[in-house]
Each structure stands twice: as C-alpha cells, then as structure tokens.
Amino acid sequence: MSGDLSVGIHDLSFSTTQFVLTHQTLAAHNGTDVGKYHAGIGQRAMSVPAADEDIVTMAAAAAAPIVARHGADRIRTIVFATETSVDQAKAAGIHVHSLLGMPSATRVVELKQACYGGTAALQFAVGLIHRDPSQQVLVIAADVSKYELDNPGEATQGAAAVAMLVGADPALVRIEEPSGVFTADIMDFWRPNYRATALVDGRESITAYLQAVQGAWKDYTEQGGRALGEFSAFCYHQPFTKMAYKAHRHLLQVCGQEIDEERIAREIGLTTSYNAEIGNSYTAAVYLGLAALLDQADDLTGRAVGFLSYGSGSVAEFFGGTVVPGYRERLRSESHRAAISRRQPITYARYRELHEHAFPVDGGHHPVPTETTGPYRLAALSGHKRIYEPRQSGLAHR
Ligand code: COA
C-alpha cells in the first residue's frame, strides 16, 4: 500500500422508494402497541418499493447525482453490493452502468455477504485506489428487505440504495487502516435461492451480532487500532435502530467502560434518524447511518468515526474513518431529506398487495404500470429479461 496516500469516500448519495408504510398503520392493522415499534425497536416507518422499482432503479437514482457532479471518466470499476439480487448471473450494476450511460471501459461486479457486502465493496475499492490513485470506484449498496407477512421481522422491512464514490484525496471521509474482522458460521438469517422472503431467528441474530461486535473489536485492537475514546461517533449496521444502541452498550461493556446512556446517545443518536424512517436496507444501512451523521452533526472536521458493519451468517468488520476539512460543502443533505419526505404514504391493503406482487415466470411480455416518480423504472419483464428505462424519456435500456 502507498504509505501516506489518503483514500476514502469522496461523495455519497442515497435514494429510497416511492411509497412508505408507517408503523402507526402497521400497528393499527395487527393490534400491536405502537410503542413496541417506536420505542422498542426504534422504527417509525418503512420504505416500500412500487412494482416498477427495485435495487437497480434505486441504485441508478442514488448514483446519477454522483456521475453528474464528477463525470464517469475516472470511474473504472463499479462494485454493487446486495443480498436482494435480481439475477443469479448478471451483475445488477451493469443495468446501472447502462442507465447512466457510463463508458464501456469499466469493470462491473456484484458482491454478497448479507448486510456486510457494502463494506466489503468499500474496502475492495480502497485497495484498488491504492493500486492506481488516478482511478475512482463507484460503490453501490442497495437492498429491499422483505420478511413474511405477520412475521416479527416484518416491522423491520425497508429499502434504499447508497452510492459512494471512492477515490484518493476524498472530500468526505478518509478510510483508515487497520480493520478488525470476524467470521463465524451461524444460521441467524438467510434466504435460500427459492425464497423471496428471508428466514430469520431474531433473537439468535441479535446474539450473533453482539458476538461479532466483540470479535471484530478484539481483532481491531490487536491490529493496532485506535482507543475507543478517540472516536466521536459510531456508525453501526442498523437492522432496526435500537440495535445500534444494544451494540454500542455491548462494546462499552467489552472495553470495561461505564454504561453511560447520555454518552451512548451522543455517540449514536444522529446516525439513526434516516434508518428509523426507511427501515432495514441491509447493505446500505450502515452508510445511511453515516449520511445521517454527516448531514446533521454540527462540525465533525478532523474527528474520527467508528464503523461496525455486520452481515448475518456471519461476518463483521470494525474500522475507523476521519472526517475531512471542507466536507460540509459537499454534502447532499437537502436531497437526502427530500428522498425521505417525497415518499407517498400507503394503506395496509396497498402494502400487502405490493408485498405479494410477483412476476409470472412464463417468459411472456409483462409490462409494469408507471407508479414511481423517481428517475428510473422497471418497465417490464419480457422474455425473462428485466427492461429498465429512464422515467422521463421512455427510452428502454436493456
Ligand atoms: N413499548 C415499548 N417497548 C416495547 C413494547 C412496548 N409496548 N413492547 C415490546 N417492547 C420492546 C421489547 O422489550 C424489546 O426490547 P429489548 O430488545 O430491548 O428487550 C423490543 O421492544 C422488541 O420486542 P420483542 O418482543 O423482542 O419483539 P419481537 O419478538 O417482535 O422481535 C426482532 C424483534 C428485532 C427480533 C424482530 O423484529 C426480528 O426478528 N427482526 C429481524 C432480524 C433482525 O433484525 N436481526 C437483528 C440483527 S441483524
């Protein structure tokens, strides 16, 4: 690795869905005390994709402003992390590459390890930049989290895409070495290829997450990482926002520190506001935490932020980042807030209909009515091919 080279997140943009189901509406349907959702798991609402939205349309919407601001000439790699892939062979990033009209001299690949995949993509991107600092990597983390109706996981559903431009001399966050890594073979959450909804042992997944926090932190310290007190804030993976609090409490305990709820709120609080409104976006969730922190904190210039990325199964990584001077001028806070507030609330019945929507698998031409007001849409499934198009022009891109 090139010694003093500064590499990290140069730009970050996210998108979410057309529709939103509030936990108030869900609670009114299933008779749950809404306090369990609001206070118990820390969730207010969940993003619900329209029938003409998926990980590709969200990813293209997230990445388009980045390509518009920086151009695509230096982006020679797109790494797309997801656990809700739309094809078993073709990388979803190729559809995004096409929708955004990016140069053919690009490598595109898809990565998977549950909710950890976005961090793997980011770390691999950092490695590529160290090899050639003149290049940039577009990292995309996009997911639609979906559990069976009336399952305890249902209240933690959500959907979003985060796009990050990774390069040398980053404008937002410098990614530091070392990383602390951890893997354990655990079946806490998984989705066999034949299922549209994930299987989860909720309690087991919380225990596995906490075990992974401990393991990743242990390795981080053994690798010569920073002391806990050096971090101003921590971005945790948030399957539901209360999990970040549980995880941070556990980390303080592991480090032999007092459980001071005010300190925990100060170090975690700002990272949860987007996730509480969007729900679990799997690979994107930890970076929605970063977006919420950067968009809302007073001034983090020169401060260290800790990242804990967890993916069931399970893999975790702890690493640090330093916020770069001038970062506030490059934030997209207004468009991030607009992505959340533009969503249209839906009834429980409409949510259920969308939840159960599935394309026929007969290879016929199955157009999808226009529902989204986002910039890209899934226009049809035709001959087993997903047909995407920019919403305004109506031109089909395959
Ligand atoms: N007011 C306030 N809090 C309430 C409440 C009420 N009326 N009713 C329940 N709660 C609290 C509970 O005490 C509990 O808090 P705790 O975890 O701090 O003890 C919390 O709300 C959840 O209640 P619980 O009974 O455990 O909910 P559940 O059986 O429906 O399961 C999950 C919750 C998170 C396990 C479930 O949503 C799930 O399986 N999620 C998917 C997997 C996941 O997110 N895994 C995380 C690691 S990746």
Q: Is residue 83 flagged as an active site residue?
A: yes
- Is 150 exposed, middle or buried, given 0-12, 13-18 or 19+ CB atoms closer than 10 A? exposed
- Quick one: which atom of ligand 1 is closest to the CA of 312? 48
Return all residues near 12 (Cβ < 8 A) that are at least 6 apart. 162, 163, 164, 165, 172, 287, 290, 291, 294, 332
Dihedral of alpha carbons 144, 18, 336, 23, sign: negative
| CB-CB contact of 165 with 10 (8 Å) | yes
| Protein residue with least CA distance to atom 40, ligand 1 | 153
Nearest residue CA, atom 3 of ligand 1?
Answer: 40
The tens-digit pLDDT sequence of the chain (398 residues) is 556 899 999 999 999 999 999 999 999 999 999 999 999 999 999 999 999 999 999 999 999 999 999 999 999 999 999 999 999 999 999 999 999 999 999 999 999 999 999 999 999 999 999 999 999 999 999 999 999 999 999 999 999 999 999 999 999 999 999 999 999 999 999 999 999 999 999 999 999 999 999 999 999 999 999 999 999 999 999 999 999 999 999 999 999 999 999 999 999 999 999 999 999 999 999 999 999 999 999 999 999 999 999 999 999 999 999 999 999 999 999 999 999 999 999 999 999 999 999 999 999 999 999 999 999 999 999 999 999 999 865 443 33
Ligand 1 geometric centre to CA of 306 (Å): 25
Alpha helices, H only, 328-389: 333-341, 348-356
Strands, DSSP E only, in 220-303?
A: 231-236
Which one of the listed residues 53, 83, 176, 317 is annotated catalytic?
83
Helices and strands, counts by H and E, the chain: 12, 17
If you search the block for the tokens 């945790």, which residue do you land on? Answer: 236
Tokens of 295: 């968009």
Q: Is 245 in the pocket of ligand 1 (CB under 6 A)?
A: no
**Residue of the nearest CA to atom 21 in ligand 1?**
40
Give the amino acid at 222: E
The domains of the chain, with CATH numbers, are 7-173+331-390 (3.40.47.10), 177-325 (3.40.47.10)
Q: Give strand pairing partners of 199.
A: 190
Is 237 tagged catalytic? yes
Order of strands across the sheet with 231-236?
107-111, 75-81, 136-145, 158-168, 7-15, 173-183, 315-323, 304-311, 231-236
DSSP letter string, 160-206: EEEEEEEEES-SSEEEEEEEEEEE----SEE--TT-SS-EE-HHHHH
Those residues with Cβ within 8 angstroms of residue 364's Cβ, 6 or more apart along the chain or in another chain: 382
The verdict on whether 115 is a catalytic residue reads: yes
What is the distance in A from the centroid of ligand 1 to the CA of 194?
Answer: 27
Please state the φ and ψ torsions of residue 90, each to the nearest 5 degrees.
-80, 135
Provide the angle, in degrees to the nearest 10, between the axes of the packed helices 285-296 and 333-341: 120
Residue to probe by mutation, ligand 1, list 41, 241, 308, most atoms within 8 Å of CB = 41
For ligand 1, atom 34: residue with the closest CA: 202
